Amino acid sequence: MGPVILAFALAVVAWLLVVGDLVRRHRPAWHWYLTGYPAAAWRVVFTWRRVALLNDLAVSRLPARTLVGHLLVKGDPVRPVAPRISFPRATRMGLSVVVRLHAGQTPATYMQAADALVHAWKVHAVRVTSPERGLVLLTATATDPLERPGLASAPAELLSALIGALETGGAWVMNLRLVPHWLIAGATRSGKSTLLARLITQLAPQPVALVGIDCKGGMELGLFTDRLSALATCRREAVAVLTALVVDMQDRMNACRTAGVRSIWELPDKLRPVPVVVLVDEIAELYLSDGTRQSKAEAEQCSTLLLRLAQLGAALGLHLVVAGQRVGSDLGPGVTALRAQLGGRICHRVNDPGTAEMTLGDLNKDAVTVAQAITAQERGVAVCTGPDGGWARARSHLTPTDEAVATARKHSGMTPELPAIERALVALEGDGK
């Protein structure tokens, strides 16, 4: 019977391993709840005191028997006391722990100890937040949720685009009604162009006008000409397009003032002008000049016109999505002023810390550090801001170029006409001749 029982036990173990591997690959959340979470929760509970002591999270408490001041009457040791924590609560792909701070402690100390918690708990990452005064929430993720993100879903809404998935497993949505203007930074092959393609495919079926400014000869946005109401491929054309948009913006102001409303969204449907989304690929091409008088004048015009659209366009249905490999004050003082008006921020992998600082530094210093840690292998991964003022890691859904072009061509019949821009480009061609 001995060999039979041993063979049966080995067969059961092999079956459990095969089933466990299938569950891990096809139902990772189930695998985490059944095997990963119990082990991780045990590590959190039994390593917390030692981790707190080694990372200065514990506070020394004096013995009960003392005289006036800190004079001890007995030789009892001063014992460090670790902060109290809640029992780890399981999440979909991780766990969370609530820590009650000692008097005088701040969340900054726990942020510095985040790496130590990652190694002690054997998890992918630990996020430190403070939901209320006196408490710190430690959110641990077991594995990188963006390595193989699922296809998230979101309700269809005008000027809202489903970009990808957040590290929490939720949908990454770019809602231009909620956050009207966006800045996207990313080095070559970081996923920036893929994100723009995804945005166009999401906006193409909607009743909105898409205007492209691609001063690299239209190599990127020129692929979607069928769905673009206008495309500027050089800075002279960009000045003409932006000037026409500013004139159109003034007309929209007059319409709102006549109707006694403060935005086009309060106008009746018949009177409401079509929303316009301006996509700018490579902002540096608009701001840098070759030193000639004409080049400097065009750069200053672009800077002024973009800033006016960013300052006044939100309520008038004019939205900016500005992208660039390098975003810094060296491009000119107008870049910093424009950056302040672009409330939405997305930072892919960048080649210099200054661009990450320019994109996210005025919102959250921790987000800058996380953005700089994105590797070349993590294409499409970015740090993005949320409507609540916080930030999160996210990954855009991969949209192949041929698919994006086919979507733009499919919805070409929905391309609104913008006569003011068309007249401006025609006049520019006439001047060139």
| Per-residue confidence (pLDDT) for residue 156, from 0 to 100 | 75
CA–CA distance, 318 with 246 (Å, rounded to integer): 10
74 and 189, same domain (yes or no)? no
Q: Taking the CA of residue 407 as centre, how many other CA atoms within 13 Å lie in the half-sphere pointing to its CB?
A: 16
pLDDT at 154: 63
- Are the C-beta atoms of residues 264 and 314 closer than 8 Å to each other? no
Same structural domain for residues 166 and 256?
yes
Q: 3-class SS at 279? A: strand
Indicate whether 153 belongs to any domain.
Answer: no
Domain boundary among 92, 111, 143: 143
Q: Are residues 266 and 123 in the same domain?
A: no
Please check whether residues 138 and 165 belong to one and the same domain.
Answer: no
* Co-location of 239 and 335 in the same domain: yes
Residues 278 and 426 in one domain: yes
Q: What is the CATH number of the domain that holds 212?
A: 3.40.50.300
Residues 293 and 355 in one domain: yes
37 inside domain: no
Out of 113, 143, 173, pick the residue that ends a domain: 143
Q: Which residues of the chain have pLDDT under 70?
A: 1-29, 61-78, 148-155, 388, 430-433
- What does DSSP assign to residue 72? B
**205 and 125, same domain (yes or no):** no
Whether residue 413 sits in one domain with residue 387:
yes
Q: 62: how many CB neighbours lie within 10 A of its CB?
A: 11
CA distance to 15, 22, 68, 123, 167, per residue, from 26 (Å): 16, 6, 65, 20, 18
- pLDDT score for 253: 94
Res 229: pLDDT:
94
Q: pLDDT tens digits, residue range 207-228? A: 999 999 998 888 889 999 999 9
Structural domain including 71 reads 44-143
pTM over 0.85: no
Q: Are 129 and 171 part of one and the same domain?
A: no
CATH of residue 58: 3.30.980
Q: Considering its fold, how many domains does the chain have in total?
A: 2
- pLDDT at position 117: 93
**Whether 227 contacts 204, CB under 8 Å:** yes
Note whether 110 and 48 are within 8 A (CB). no
Instruction: Summarize pLDDT for 262-281 with one digit per residue, the tens.
Output: 999 999 988 899 999 999 99
pLDDT at 61: 64
191 and 327 housed in the same domain: yes
What was the pLDDT predicted at 7? 58
Q: Is residue 113 part of a domain?
A: yes
Q: Are residues 127 and 216 located together in one domain of the fold?
A: no
